[in-house]
Amino acid sequence: MKRKALSMVLASAMTLSMIAGCGGSGADTATTTNETTEATETTESTDAAETTESTDAAETTEESTDAAAEETEAPTADVSSEGEHELSVYAWDKNFNIPALQAAEKAYQTVDPDFKLNIIEQSASSDVENAVTLAANSGDYSQLPDIVLFQDHYIQNYVTNYPDAWIDLEDAGIDWSNLGAEKISYSTIDGKHYGAPVDNGTSIFAYRTDILEECGYTIDDVTGITWDRWLEIGREVKEKTGKYLLSMDHNGDDLPYMMMQAEGLSQWKDGQPYFVGNEDLKKILQVIITGAQDGVIYLCNDWSEYTDTSIIGDQVAGVFNGNWIIPTMEQNAEASGKWQITTIPTLSGKEGYAANGGSSLYITANCTKPELAKSFLAYTFGGGDGAIATYDDALRNGGVIGTCISASKSDVYQEGVDFFNGQSIYADIVAMGANVPVVEQSDYHYNARTYIQAAITNVINGSDLDTELQNAEDQVKFEMGQ
């Protein structure tokens, strides 16, 4: 396949796969005095008949809501009716995860022609989480499928709280060293492996090389540098071109997490939030604060402003996020051929690596054919003989970049991508993923993100960083029940 044709196919597939997972900012709900007065007068003039009508309407609405809920209830599995060569799996996202599962089914059929994978589409990852919670709390796993797709940041909590809900993969014959260490750290609980990784959440730092060149720099000048040097370059880029060197959805700000991971460090220590006294975290946050104040970093108010305004709207000369951000970048077709990816700056200047997002596959306690399930996962997503076929088709059809190191040696992964000036970004991303350091995680990851984000905002507006970190740590501990 010619490089240009492949690039177009992959770009289309990855564009379809993008999910805008971060919410927008809340709308202003304040009302004027006149609006409040009118509402009050209307309420006071309501008579008994209107009250009765309202009650009837409420009952009707409740019935309609119940009916709608029944209609939209997530589909369930029927493992008991499956054939000898049949497995079922819960998954979401018909443009991303599901094409990857279909690729795995096709690959496994080369060794088991009668194999069938019943992919039961869920509307969101929360449907899978709710199904496991309901089954575990009732002590009845019979409604679960053989396999579930589960988000990386949540699985440790579910395995810890519901240990009887899962079957581990210790005897599946998977070479775990062939998979990214950071990726499988999420699915390794108490020394046991539970999940087979589907996608690669490795973060990329991409730069507009034409803009760098306009300022006298190349991609090498932003590779293996300190954050202080990066800020200096960013100020020059802003002054000469008017473009930011980086943007982020500050409503769901992942910069602190990724920047800390690139250092090989965490915001957690022995299961507790480690904000106060964490000097490296303070330095990282100060980079973000200084960058925002100096016009180097564009902290967007919501996801739409981040994707549509800053990236697609051509306001940035750099993009730093999980590689799933690539489809958003590709929507600015005029910038094709002008981007390249590299590693992340760090406090010391070493090349940094990080990851952001992803999911893996887990066998449930309701699986009646665990040996088949293990064999399927090992052969495909686990790096077995079917891994290359699985990941090649997953990349072609869903834009899914795998975490299997050996599978990234395929011709498909080695092809250059026109949008990135012919760079073999898929092979590069897998190679980067193998270097992402394992850092301490927490089930309260998103709670921490929320309060660290608030701390950044408050410091930019004049507050003291130490005070804000203390407040953030106190808030997270409160939500942890401490």
- For residue 61, what pLDDT is reported? 41
Burial classification of residue 458, based on how many CB atoms lie within 10 Å of its CB (0-12 exposed, 13-18 middle, 19 or more buried):
middle
Q: What's the CA gap between 21 and 19, in Å, rounded?
A: 6
Q: Which of 263, 297, 294, 295 is nearest to 278 (CA)?
A: 263
Residue 332 reports pLDDT greater than 90: yes
Which one is the CATH code of 79-201+357-409: 3.40.50.2300, 3.40.190.10, 3.40.50.300, 3.40.1160.10? 3.40.190.10
Average pLDDT of the segment spanning 93-108: 95
Q: Which of 64-68, 123-127, 237-241, 458-462 is least confident?
A: 64-68
How many CB atoms neighbour CB 338 within 10 A? 18
Residue 463 reports pLDDT greater than 80: yes
Contact 459, 275 (CB under 8 A): no
Torsions phi, psi of 38, nearest 5?
-65, -40
Average pLDDT, rounded, for the chain: 87
Q: Where are the domains of the chain?
A: 79-201+357-409, 203-354+438-479
Q: What is the pLDDT of residues 158-196, one digit of tens each?
A: 999 999 999 999 999 999 999 999 999 999 999 999 999
Residue 13 reports pLDDT greater than 90: no
What is the CATH topology of the domain spanning 203-354+438-479? D-Maltodextrin-Binding Protein; domain 2 (3.40.190)
Q: What is the pLDDT of residues 208-217, one digit of tens each?
A: 999 999 999 9
Structure-model confidence comparison of residues 263 and 51, the more confident one:
263
- In sequence order, the 6+-apart residues with CB closer than 8 A to the CB of 340 are 206, 207, 209, 219, 420, 421, 423
The confidence band for 89, taking pLDDT boundaries of 50, 70 and 90, is very high
Q: Which of 197, 204, 248 is nearest to 222 (CA)?
A: 204
pTM for this one?
Answer: 0.77
Contact 90, 148 (CB under 8 A): yes
The confidence band for 51, taking pLDDT boundaries of 50, 70 and 90, is very low
The confidence band for 72, taking pLDDT boundaries of 50, 70 and 90, is low
